[in-house]
A = this chain, B = another copy of it.
Amino acid sequence: MFESAELGHKLSKDEYKRIEPRLRADLLDAQFDVAANGKFPVVVLISGVRGAGKGETVNLLNEWMDPRHIYTHAFDTPSDEEIERPPMWRYWRTLPPKGHIGILFGSWYTSPIIERVFKRSKPADLSISLDAINRFERMLADEGALILKFWFHLSKDRQKKRLRALQSDPDTSWRINDRDWDFFKYYDRFYRISEETLRKTSNGWAPWIVVEGSDPQYRAVTVGKTLLEAMRRRLDTAKAAKAAKEAKATVIAAPKEAPLSRPVDNVHILHRMDLAAAVPKPKYEKKMDKLQRELAILTRHPKFAQKNVVLLFEGMDAAGKGGAIRRVTAALDARLYHTIPIAAPTDEERAQPYLWRFWRHLPRKGRFTIYDRSWYGRVLVERIEKFCSDADWMRAYTEINDFENQLAQNGAIVAKFWLQISKEEQYKRFKLRERTRFKRFKITEEDWRNRGKWDEYQIAAADMIERTSTDYAPWVLVAANDKYHARVKILEHIVTAIRQALV
């Protein structure tokens, strides 16, 4: 979940100066409308790593907005009063009332994460805590709260630099103590456990928004804009519901989603890929030959009979998914694999939950299933073409993570490839397909239409990668402008993954 927050997002001071006055005024307006509407509280959680600008951002929000309707609470060591009640009591007493914004600095997440990082709790304890949190937040949402959870992230390198900088500046050195460095020693563990926590508790009704914390302008505008959009969206829903009610139409309680955030500097993870990577043909042929041989041998390993492999390929049209898949299957005994091309669902599939059509093709032990496009259609094409509601694709992230977790728990090797090409490269390939007789069937009006929505697809793909890259099923980003490079990278990943699983 943190990949997108290590891209070095930033906003120049000039841009910030341009954006800030308007954003500030809009936030103030929205805040007043929330207060006047008086129907829901806004609960903002601020969490994340040390030195990532949490405090500065909260100060700024307080400066920007009307202090009469905004409360900030910081949670440190529990008081005597608090210690004598159930742990959630301190949070209940500080919940913002309807019409108000409550900023909770540290929250119900702090203790479950810290306890687990320092191994004072077991994996199952964390799981149980997170489920209790999910039920609690679900209840808040059902009671009408708008919930936004910000996680301020810094890469290991950046955090180190930031702590050093704070320490060496006489104005800020008081803010850094031994405890900060003690924590830093556990960076990797903290990273892993936070990632699990965020993944398991990011829901449509209470999403996590990961904010890269290194640039003050970027983080302030990100938090401000996200908060603004969420409040506006909720106010609009309330208005629509009221209108419908006046028109005497049946109105049924809405699931209370907050929107996903957009990178305010328009930089996302796919932009940062080096698409120039290439492998010359002779080297490709040699490498491919070796990799295919290795793959073939691995599938004959006695232990392989106890493993199954799920591969899936996603990417823009003409990114080379089919070609890459054929290079994989060329190495496999035809009895060992199925390739499942995913197009529009059949009638039978439409009559079932959307994941059903993928469950039915799961491989037995010792087999491969290769999905050419996959369940991620839900958060790509279905999201963009509005084949399903916002609530539907937003909940899909969690459902997909759950699904892949079941695969991994069952011992499957799961590899997910995103093949990225540039918009120009796609154009070249489309044109080539139109000119090449035996490829003409591969290019349709629809492909051109989809191409028109390039940016939307890229944003959806970046959201998808961020929200479904897990330790048990990470996304592999493949620069695919050069097909040879893409295929080698894919084969290499598969061979390595299987080899590791057979140890």
Please report A residues at the B interface, Cβ cutoff 8 Å.
Answer: 38, 41, 81, 84-89, 92-93, 95, 97-100, 122, 124-125, 127-128, 131-132, 135-136, 139-140, 142-143, 145, 237, 240-241, 243-244, 247, 249-255, 308, 348, 350-356, 359-360, 362, 364-365, 389, 391-392, 395, 398-399, 402, 406-407, 409-410, 412
Contact = CB atoms under 8 A, between A and B. Distances in A.
B139 A395 contact: yes
Contacts of A407: 86
Contacts of A354: 143
Contact of A253 (B87, B131, B243, B255): B255
B356 A92 contact: yes
Contacts of A84: 308, 364-365
A70 to B, nearest CB: 15
Contact of A392 (B95, B142, B391): B142
A356 B95 contact: yes
Nearest to A122: B124
Contacts of A399: 135, 139
Contacts of A89: 359, 362
A351 B41 contact: yes
Contacts of A128: 124, 127-128, 131
B124 A362 contact: no
Contacts of A125: 124
Given A93-B360, A135-B402, 11 more contacts: A86-B410, A95-B352, A95-B356, A124-B124, A131-B131, A135-B399, A136-B402, A142-B395, A247-B249, A251-B252, A253-B389
B241 A348 contact: no
Contacts of A142: 391-392, 395
A218 to B, nearest CB: 34
B391 A253 contact: yes
A472 B76 CA distance: 30
A38 B364 CA distance: 32
Nearest to A360: B93
Nearest to A98: B351
Contacts of A85: 362, 364, 410
Contact of A249 (B93, B136, B244, B364): B244
A98 B84 CA distance: 51
A310 to B, nearest CB: 11
Contacts of A243: 250
A501 to B, nearest CB: 16
Q: What are the 7 tightest A-B residue pairs by CB atom distance, in nearest-first order?
A: A249-B249, A97-B351, A124-B124, A143-B353, A92-B359, A86-B410, A98-B351
Contacts of A127: 124, 127-128, 131
A142 B391 CA distance: 9
12 contacts: A81-B364, A85-B362, A86-B406, A86-B412, A98-B351, A124-B125, A124-B127, A131-B131, A135-B398, A135-B399, A252-B253, A255-B255
A453 to B, nearest CB: 25
Given A247-B247, A251-B250, A140 B353 contact: yes
Contacts of A402: 132, 135-136, 139
B352 A98 contact: yes
Nearest to A138: B395
Contacts of A135: 398-399, 402
Contacts of A241: 250, 252
A381 B395 CA distance: 34
A385 to B, nearest CB: 18
Most-contacted residue by chain B among A128, A142, A251, A254 (CB, 10 A): A142
A135 B401 CA distance: 11
A415 to B, nearest CB: 17
Nearest to A366: B84
Contacts of A132: 402
A393 to B, nearest CB: 11
Nearest to A128: B127
Which one of A88, A250, A354 has the greatest number of beta carbons of chain B within 10 Å? A250
A328 to B, nearest CB: 21
Contacts of A255: 252-253, 255
Nearest to A406: B86
Contacts of A97: 348, 351-352
A85 B360 CA distance: 10
A406 to B, nearest CB: 4
A406 B250 CA distance: 37
Contacts of A395: 139, 142
